[in-house]
Amino acid sequence: MYVQIGTTKYPPADIAIRRKALDQLGDGLGEGGHAASLAFLFGVPGSAWTFPNENAFLRALNIFEAAPVEQRTPQTLPNMLTVARRPASVTLPGGTVTLLGTRYASAAALALAPPVTDLLALTATIRGAGLLALASDPLNGYAFPTWAAATTALGTWNGQGAVPPAVLAFRVPVRPPSVLVRYDPSSVVTGAQDIVDHERRYTYAWGTCGMTGEHMTGRLFDLGGDIQREAETTFGQGQGAALRQLLLTPVTVRTVYEIFNPMLHHFLIEKRPSDQGAVLQQGYIGAYTAPWWAGLTTEGMSLRKPDAQESLAAMRTYWGGGRTIDLGTLGTRLGAFLAEPRISTVGSATAWRQLPFLPSVELTPMNDPAAWVVRTWSVADPQTVFDTVENRLNGGYPQEWVTHTVLREAAEYQGRIAVVRASLRT
């Protein structure tokens, strides 16, 4: 949550301070109005004032303006303002203000100080709602080379609705964290000394739903994919239609939707712009790994009951295996789950059984909300991922899904682990 100008980051509180202070600053440096604020600072012969930065100076004006009249004497000032007060000395003459290391002997001189003139010149930008909206964005940071560039990009935007394209050009990309420390499928699998560690890393990455989501986006990043987060939205009760609409809205770049309810499940949908086709990728703790779900390995399904195995295999035939899925139907079923207020209802349990995750498992009743969080990731250069994996694996396989390519790499890794494990048994 910040806006960066040059090399300085301004969080929302800093922007709010500037907005609040601009009126009194402008009036105080002009004629009449709040001139008493500055007159006080320059009119105390026995005191000098030192402000290390613009924020401290602006806070001082705000505090002074808010203080009752009886507290506007050097002896009764609020504590936050007295911090800046120094006894007059040879090096700090009384009746002066030092701002950012430069001393000023009058309000007229301070009015010409670059920090002050910059603030006054950019009144519209700083006071406008657009800048504060950018600084308050919990997902993205924005970095402008200068205040002038920010002014030009923001234009008349009031902070409501879509961020203007001119502003998006200055957005700082949010990348997924690397997973190489925990998972590197290109590493050499040797003998008994490290086989258990390889098996653990593979299972940890693809044998649980949450880790599948994290390792998928992180591995795309590690393979050189230009992946960045575009949005994060929580869909709660009654917002099923909105979620379905998000999934069906045409994309212009390769897009990965990372969808989860932290109490239930975590899965991914990849959507490609060429035909708006989509694929579902997932792992499920205690049930199956993501490469098995993708149809890339015969090992990975861990259910023991025959009927559960059959229902899961049938579900994978329609929804898994790297096949193009019916995104409208999936969106409708996700929305049916959101028709319920909580996970504990009969309706949410019924809706869960219609979802292509693990229908043989009954939901544990809980009072947590029936909601889905959707993180939207763009993959602007999937070809880099395709080429990197194909060159290492001597590919020749269809390049349909970038997520499938990551899991194909994982399946190859699991195959090498299995070979070494088998050799240790002989």
For residue 95, give the nearest of 116, 83, 113, 110 by alpha carbon. Answer: 110
pLDDT digit string, tens, across residues 43-53: 777 888 888 88
Q: How far apart are CA 106 and CA 63, in angstroms?
A: 20
Cross-strand bridge partners of residue 5:
8, 144
Tokens of 378: 């763009």
Helix (H) or strand (E) holding 55: helix 54-66
Global confidence as pTM: 0.75
Residues in a beta bridge with 280? 269
CA torsion through residues 111, 116, 118, 123, sign = negative
pLDDT for 399 equals 86
Q: How does strand 47-51 pair with strand 85-87?
A: antiparallel
C-beta separation of 253 from 273 below 8 A: yes
Here the tokens at position 124 are: 């519209």
Own/partner long-range contacts of 194-202 (Cβ < 8 Å, ≥24 apart): 195/417, 195/420, 195/421, 195/424, 198/413, 198/417, 198/420, 199/417, 199/421, 202/410, 202/413, 202/414, 202/417
pLDDT at site 31: 42
C-alpha dist (Å) from residue 138 to 4, 144, 229, 232, 266:
14, 18, 12, 10, 22
Q: pLDDT digits over 151-165, tens only?
A: 889 888 888 988 899
35, pLDDT greater than 60: no
Residue 424 CB neighbours (<10 A): 10
Indicate whether 135 pLDDT > 70.
Answer: yes
Q: Considering only 73-77, 107-111, 331-335, 376-380, which range has the smallest mean pLDDT?
A: 73-77
pLDDT tens, position by position, 317-357: 999 999 999 999 999 999 999 998 888 788 888 898 899 99
Residue 327's nearest CA partner among 264, 262, 404, 243 is: 243
Question: Residue 130: pLDDT band by 50, 70, 90 thresholds?
Answer: confident
- Ranked by mean pLDDT, the top range of 139-153, 181-195, 282-296 is 282-296
| pLDDT digit string, tens, across residues 398-425 | 889 999 999 999 999 999 999 998 888 7
Nearest of 187, 191, 217, 193 to residue 205 by alpha carbon:
217
At residue 26, the pLDDT reads 56
